[in-house]
Structure 1
Amino acid sequence: MNTIHHTTTRRRWLQALAATIAASAALSGASLAYAQGHSAQVLRIGYQKYGTLTLLKARGDLEKRLAPQGIEVKWTEFPAGPQLLEGLNVGSIDFGTVGEAPPIFAQAAGADLVYVANQPPAPTAEAIVVPKGSSVRTVADLRGKRVALNKGSNVHYLLVKALEKAGVPYAEVQTVFLPPADARAAFERGAVDAWVIWDPFLAAAEKQLGARVLADGTGLVANHQFYLAARPYATRQPQIVKAVVDELARLDEWAQKRPAEVAALLGPQIGLDPAVAETAARRFAYGITPVTPAVAAEQQKIADAFLQLKLIPKPIRIADALPGTLGVAQAAR
């Protein structure tokens, strides 16, 4: 794709994004209390120790973009996606990034959120790992074993699909639900037999602990990174949401061919040495896109699988959390 066509396509997508988010949210009835009680002069972003939002924070590009409008950007770090979306649901943040599973759990819990965009698949950026001296050699060997993971995170679906492929019923592993820091501690002291985790924690486990990968997402899951907004905020401030996506798109163009520079920025932000940060950076997928019908269908499959396993309490429709009727995706074509 040439530069002019790429720029034109992105401009059309961003224009459609602003319009469809606003229209969709208005139709759904945004919270009046939220609109009255939240200042339009602060954009509150939730981020994790991975992905382009962390880079955007480090570079300060969004602050430069929004400062002339008198808008302050406030960043809040979360240990994982479920906690981040809990923050979005209770109104402590307006925008954030998570993996595939958290928005499904959040939607099932009644969160008023809207999908904004996603990154391309990054299946090697999450994996099931075991200690280097473990006798566990295959996913099938996890039957009856203790497996640590963050409940409702992207790796939750990886575990489901890996066990399914290996012919091991989900109920026949002992899931131990822990956030990344606690899971690593349990993994190091041998309190669990395996750990399902994402980058950069995955890269750190490999480089620092010698953890051995049983299976990553290749052939099992896409592992998209999604950007979501609180629907009331997206209703009131579609142009600010558009500005965030625009800056993320610019950042992606810069980052995709500069893993060493990305690692130099990312390392201090996530508290990891450059080698670990660069491993994570090379496995990340750059190129923010609208949520297409195909990606929405993948999300629906995950939601249906979680319902079947009784991991969520009720059926959900991913379409209910999309901007408009996928007008953004159509406009970008």
Structure 2
Amino acid sequence: MPQRSTKSLSALLVASSWLGLAISGCTPSNSANTNTTAQNVSNQTQEKTSLIRLGYQKGGVVPIARQRGELAKKLAAQNIKAEWAGPFDRCATLLQAISANQADIGGCGDIPGLSAIAAGQDICIGAVQRPRPESLSSAIVVRGNSPIRKPADLVGKKVAVNQAGAGEYLLLKVLEKENISKDKVQRVFLAPTDAAPALYQGTVDAWAVWEPYISVAKLEHGARRITTTHPAPTYNVMLVRNEAAAKSPEAVKAAFSGLGEEYDWLNTNTAKSAEFLVKDIKISPAVAKQVIENQGPQLLVTPNADDVAKIQKTADWMLEQKILPKRVDVAATICPTAK
């Protein structure tokens, strides 16, 4: 597993800053107007290349980093200004914001990320969180009084999923594992905000979803799981606007280095992380504690060849299932900052 080198990254950024100062210091001194113009251009260039905008959904590491304030301080020490875009209700809207130049970086599951790339969104993969097979952060849930006890009971039933997202992928993989034809279960395409009331009110029979919705459904609405671990755990990916990766590579690298440290903090400060989660998504302390436990330790790394191959396998399966409109070459979607 590749390890981050914060010291090396910091040294590179300091060296880059020093070089910029050295070059600007060589401006000829025989004209005050020339000096002023050159300085203005230098300031404009620095302002453009040192800004990084972090997009986020509720419940992720980015809003926790925003609340803590440490990431912004670390970036500021490297002459990089952090701005925040969000919260967005789901990956699809976050990725649209990145493509629309409203944010530079955002984290999503690999399924919606691959769907966005296949749809032509101008983004690349800058960092990943590897799957944890033992994680309980995704599940198919049903109402507490439902007769559905196992995946086989879903035959003939309606299951809410987010189209071309993690929910649809989870359902299809569960059905595949249980040798159940996908045509025997009706997929109802709903965003989480619509799927939750649909389940509670009985419009759908089950819901394929992820945290924090699982813990909210269980602890506040009496829902229960009919699956535990994921039959095909997925990656989380940090996606970057291509223009930002090309024009501000050092800011992107510094942001990922800082976010990696935020994950390290989260892993060793679970109680405090739960407190931040309560503030971020307005859930009860009991739900927040359960979410943190179900997610388990998280680590942000630069994708290696094995990661690329595994994500490619997922993308090819999605193409076979007609979830993707065309094949995605994953290796070609890795950001230059991650190579």
**TM bin (shorter chain):** 0.7 to 0.9
Structure 1: which amino acid aligns with 2:119?
A
Aligned CA distance change for structure 1 residues 239 and 62 (closer, same or farther; 3 Å): same
Any conservation in 1 of the 2:49–2:251 contact (CA below 8 Å)? no
Residue 39 of structure 1: how far off its partner (Å): 4.8
Segment of structure 1 superposing worse, 116-125 or 65-74: 65-74
Any conservation in 1 of the 2:235–2:311 contact (CA below 8 Å)? no
Residue 70 of structure 1: how far off its partner (Å): 6.3
Unaligned ranges ≥5, structure 2:
13-44
What's 2:36 paired with?
Answer: none
Residue 171 of structure 1: how far off its partner (Å): 2.6
CA displacement, residues 272-312 of structure 1 (integer Å, 9 cap, x when unaligned): 11111111112223221111222222211221111111111
Identity %, equivalent residues: 32
Which one of the candidate residues 38, 48, 69 is aligned to 1:60?
A: 69
Are 1:120 and 2:133 an aligned pair?
no
Secondary structure at 2:125's aligned position in 1?
A: strand
CA distance in 1, matches of 2:148, 2:11: 51
CA displacement, residues 2-58 of structure 1 (integer Å, 9 cap, x when unaligned): xxx966x45558999xxxxxxxxxxxxxxxxxxx9x954643222112221121122
Residue 156 of structure 1: how far off its partner (Å): 2.3
CA distance in 2, matches of 1:289, 1:60: 22
Which one of the candidate residues 85, 106, 131 is aligned to 2:143?
A: 131
Aligned CA distance change for structure 1 residues 14 and 179 (closer, same or farther; 3 Å): farther
CA distance in 2, matches of 1:214, 1:133: 13
Secondary structure at 2:250's aligned position in 1?
A: helix
Any conservation in 2 of the 1:115–1:322 contact (CA below 8 Å)? yes
Any conservation in 1 of the 2:54–2:82 contact (CA below 8 Å)? no
* Number of positions where the alignment pairs a residue of Structure 1 with one of Structure 2: 303
Aligned CA distance change for structure 1 residues 128 and 15 (closer, same or farther; 3 Å): farther
CA distance in 1, matches of 2:180, 2:8: 46
CA distance in 1, matches of 2:10, 2:200: 45
Any conservation in 1 of the 2:9–2:254 contact (CA below 8 Å)? no
TM-score for both structures, normalised by structure 2:
0.82
Residue 168 of structure 1: how far off its partner (Å): 1.5
CA distance in 2, matches of 1:230, 1:111: 9
Unaligned ranges ≥5, structure 1:
17-35, 328-333
> Aligned Cα RMSD in Å?
2.6
Extract structure 1 runs of 4+ deviating beyond 6 A: 13-16
Residue 147 of structure 1: how far off its partner (Å): 0.7
Secondary structure at 2:198's aligned position in 1?
A: helix
Aligned CA distance change for structure 1 residues 70 and 225 (closer, same or farther; 3 Å): closer
What's 2:19 paired with?
Answer: none
